[in-house]
Structure 1
Amino acid sequence: KIKNWLSAPDSSRNMNEAYGKLQDGTCSWFFEGEQFSTWKEEPSFLWVKGKGKFLLVSLSSIIHNVDLAKQDSSLSMAYFFFDGRDSQTELQLHHKLIRSLIWQLSYREDHKVPLPLVNLYKKYGHQQPLDRVLRDRSFRWIALQIEELKKCASKNEIQKKLGKLPRGLDETYQRILKGIDRDYWDDTKIFLQFLAFSKRPLKVDELAEVITVDLGSEEGPAFIEDKQYQDPRIVLTRCSSLFLLLYLLNKTSGIIKLSHFSVKEYLLSPMLTKELFMSDAAFTNWVQLWNIDLNIWDQKRSRDKTDVMKMASALYYASLAGIKPTVELLLTNKAEVNAQGGWWGNALQAASAECHRDIVELLLVNKADVNAQGGDYGNALQAASFHGHRDIVELLLQNKAEVNAQGGYHGNALQAASARGYKYNVELLLINEAAVNAEGGYHGNALQAASAEGHRDIVELLLQNKAEVNAQGGEYGNALQAASFHGHRDIVELLLQNKAEVNAQGGEYQNALQAASAGGHRNIVELLLQNKAEVNAQGGYYGNALQAASTGGHRDIVELLLQNKAEVNAQGGYYGNALKAASHWGHRDIVELLLQNKADVNAQGGEYGNALQAASFHGHRDIVELLLVNKAEVNAQGGEYGNALQAASAEGHMDIMELLQEKDAINEDHKEEFSTE
């Protein structure tokens, strides 16, 4: 009830989608950087610069790397992605950010809600905001007046302007409209129509294209080349900047939308509909344009086909938005019910994902292919299963949806429901003969998906239905490794009780012990060792568990592994050995511990050749000193930079260069080049 009251959007899909696109080494520049290392030791604010998909993918990697809750149950982590693809509601509004953060920070694995939040619900949960509060748009009015006052060149002009302030927001917008050049009014009117009814922000070049289509032609919609803007950015001069917001994607392109919801309210108000548009006609124009017969674009043009051609059909957008009258109108006019395109692939998948049951029924009656493939989730059944829409899942199954259809991010519907923790959908799919061990998708199988996401009840249900506990595949290789990496001890115990192979190989971390060590979960490392996990098992990204723990700075786990006879000089993995990994990341305490346990200070291997070169390149002077005290060979050759002096020089660490030269570091080929005098 409290979750529904908060109405917090789910941004995990964005994060999981982006995380699924990571490649080896993604964000290594960040995790290996001094700023990040400092932040981990002394938490404060850390600004990660970037934009667009680059930032989305980067942040997803950071979120998986920095999960404070895994280290301390009293801490929580929350994230939110503002998403321009969303229909200007769930993932675009600031209050949705606040709602999402409140819920994420309040949610606990025992499903108990913090008392302060419970008290708030008891006090306000059954109330609706006052109409007068919703109508109060004074802050927007003040902001617009300030913008107008900024244009004044003198105190006298300011006084005159203050004496003629509009009486309200509507009058303010009326003045702005009257100030638009009448020579351009026809174009401006079309732009405002499309912005008012768009279900997503538009690119500048997309908006510029709409005036090139004549919707009133006797022969049907036609492309008018003479109306094409030479520079799409001219759109910005046709409409007042007070009406529009522009988010630059690059120097020549950007996303454009109405600057405030009150602008849309004003444009759709009765006082303007006759002059600007009637809403039904405007939306008809909108869907008609996106459903234009692509033959009109075959007319001779020197440039590439417009982005309009890449848009999904109008039926798709109407289905996504849940506008049944428009869907009915389009189907009556023989819109292609199975047209492909858009984020969800087709109209049926879009309606299923958004839980528009009436539209799903309407599309199916009109012969929508219930098993059509495409889109982010592969098919409609997987989309509905992922989002927890049981009634849609039932409806699709009744209409002969293939319960084991493959495709999409999660591979199949059962894995999607298992990943999200919707037990009722998992049960429904199993009753309808979903293959419990079906392979495919990000997690490889349903059991691994549930194990990775911490859904113990679903893990139990899948095992009761004969899920193969040691099934291989997916990001983590097997369910035990997935649960171990994410710190779900209860699931690790359950899997071991069901005869999970503790030393099973596969996945990014090759085995469960390395996964738990990388994740920093000492309690799980202990549990795995008690169940005869091989402490020196080789393979995976880090080569072995000791290197994984050393990389992450988990001293307690390093000690535990060494106590259990981990080979301190074991070679392999990305960093070559544990000492080099700890030196690379600046974990002095672990470097000391490894040296005390007879780590070979001059062991060769990995990208930087040896520990001294790694520490020198990354600017860890204290570790360089420690290694030299422990008889590191100052002129040892190898690695990407040849030796420690060249590595320090490459990053401009003058203090380390001086220290190395004091210890007789030399470079026969470039002696003068490395002088610090």
Structure 2
Amino acid sequence: MTDPFSIAAGTAGLISLGIQTTHTLIQFYSSYKHRDSNIARTTEKLESLLGTLQVLESVLQHRSDDPLIHQIDSSVQHSREIILELQQECAKLTTSSSNFTWSATKVVGRRAAYPFRDSTLNKLDEDVGEMRSHLSFALDVLQLQDSRTLQDDLTEAKSVIELIRTTQISVAIRDWLRAPDVSVNHNAARAKRHPGTGMWFVQGPHFSRWIIQPSSFLWLHGFAGCGKTVLCSTAVEYAYRQRGRESHVGVACFYFTFNDESKRDESAMLRALLLQLADQLSDGHSVLQHLHDAYKSGPPPALTLREYLRQLIKKFDRVYLLIDALDESPRYDQRESVLESITALREGAPTGLHLLVTSRDESDIRDALGTAVEEVKLKTAGIDDDIGKFVAQKLETDPVLRRKWHGDREKIREALTQRAQGVFRWVECQFRALKNCPRSRYHLDECLRSLPKDLDKTYERMLDSIENESAAGARDARRVLTMLCFAPRPLTVPELLHGIAVDLEEPSSLDRQRLLAGGADDLKEICSGLIDFGVQELSSDSEDETPIITVRIAHFSVQEYLESTRIKKQNASFFALSAPSAHAEIARICCVYLLDPELSSGELNPSKLQDFPLAHFAALFWHHHYEKSQEEASGLYKLIEKIFLQRGSFSTLFKLHDIVDGAWDTRVQLSLPSNGLAAPLYYASYLGFSWIVEKLLASTSDEKEANEKRVNAQGGAYGNALQAASYRGHEVVVKMLLNKGAKVNTQGGCYGNALYAASSGGHETVVKMLLDKDANVSAQGGDYGNALQAASEATRRW
């Protein structure tokens, strides 16, 4: 039997010659490709061939002893004659290239010089096409085996998903740190990956260097929808394989997520990375315990998290950090601090830190990452090959597409791959058109000919189709898109169905006649191609094993299009969204829902909550959406006022979620009696709702005594309304309370008194207002003893 090492050496030599030859041809024709479309086409094919050759070379370097070498050798040898032909072409160009000038090639309007003749270019195209066909087969054999090997590694009981999920850190520490669960994103990305795709990257030179070189920093960037997240998930799994081979290697990842507010900022990223690395160390729990002891009341500030992460990195010989979709952190809100944190982590980090990030190529990200980063632009032959495989598998596995277009699969694959321009998301959207296309060659040709040129045109066509179908369907679709784009977390199917059923026309109400009986199937139908479904991961200590189906926007590019100025000039303008008005709409939906007479009367129990699946979401996030509605918020005043003035609605709201005293506790407190809640004035004061405070305090002069009793009522974590408003710095409310007889030196609550609370919050104007009312500076309270010490600490902190 022939030695595989000698076979590999011979095959590798032939591939090396192919790389040199192809590179020479590219260098020559690249100088002229901008002058002629045929030359540009030939150059593009040569570049694609070069990519395939380089990937295959990289694979063979690491697999010279693989038994599969025998299977692929014959495929590569089939290209021998073509490689030699190309070498001869190179020799011609090298010896006579000095005689070629573009102006000399033009003779009476046609190309005359040899290298630019149509016949020469066509022959070159044929050779390249045949060679790519042989080499692609060889590469597929290796990649399929490698994919199987990877799958074998990951099907063990403790797979990558289990490694990403923490198991050694106590539940108490995890609940306190509240690190986002990145396994949800990783699972979703893996589900979209198709066999053999992404191998060009993880087996290519960029990733190989990243794995090995000290202090390596790799940035993958490309258009929206080009498969960055799926590539990142593949890289994560290969990095974990590295961890399996060597001790003292740490791996952690984070996926920024545009439609989940718990995964969009610096703190979320740092907490997730910190928890994952701590779980991979024998003393990781004690490190986090120390952090917990220093910040028991809530998550530590970002600077502290960053410093603890640095400490953990130093405990490993090597650490691989992979951060996906930087661009999905809001640019003008949270992204700057994210980029600062990444830069800070690299500065002064040990040489064992390897950092990989993915994003679109946006100016602020490029400026922040600097020149030290190695870049991979995701518009390569490898991406085109992956798209081709993706299309082929979809046409084979989708029952509708397989039945309709079995004999035209290659035609469709070629058309979609050529038109995709490296964007997976665009390809994904075209399958819907193919499914709806009448089954004839004529209609298929028309469908392929009229494919939209980019994602914008694709989304415009999809939305225009929804609007043309029915006005009611378009209204429901717009509500679905509004809620999914701006809800701070993915919504469950029942939550979304009830959100659609809320009628905001006066008199606003929950209209059960509007509930879609078909559930998830109806949602798929009215927003086909624009939304996606997943399974909500259950917490490790959850007793309920029933999977919860969630709904989210199908892709970041969908929301970007809906919020763009471009949509307003197109046929789909009905679906244009703006953040303030969308948040105002969702806040109104929440308030109308909480005011439902059936929900707000009688006993609040699990059975009732099943009938009102949106209730908990509404209680958790009504204020979040109110705050983000900005100039649109005025339309919410009457609804919020109704909740505070109607005892049943008020009680229901704060049993479902106590936004003040239980801000970090999202559990429903069904057993809490109504008289266990603080008064509406306390909550209105904390939230700064001056118009509601005014309503609650409105009275005639002869009710002064009752008013003073109400304004000084004890209750809640902050003791009374004045301390709550002082801590939050609500100057107008503080003034109103003082004018109505609030006692400035009343003791109680977590800060002891109002002056201490205002000082601790760093609210100088409120401090002055309290001092003008003879607040006692020396009164004891809180962690720092008195207001003076609290003010000093606040100055240092802010």
- Greater strand share, 1 or 2? 2
If the length of structure 2 is used for normalisation, what is the TM-score? 0.30
- Greater helix share, 1 or 2? 2
Q: Specify the structure having the higher radius of gyration (Cα).
A: 2
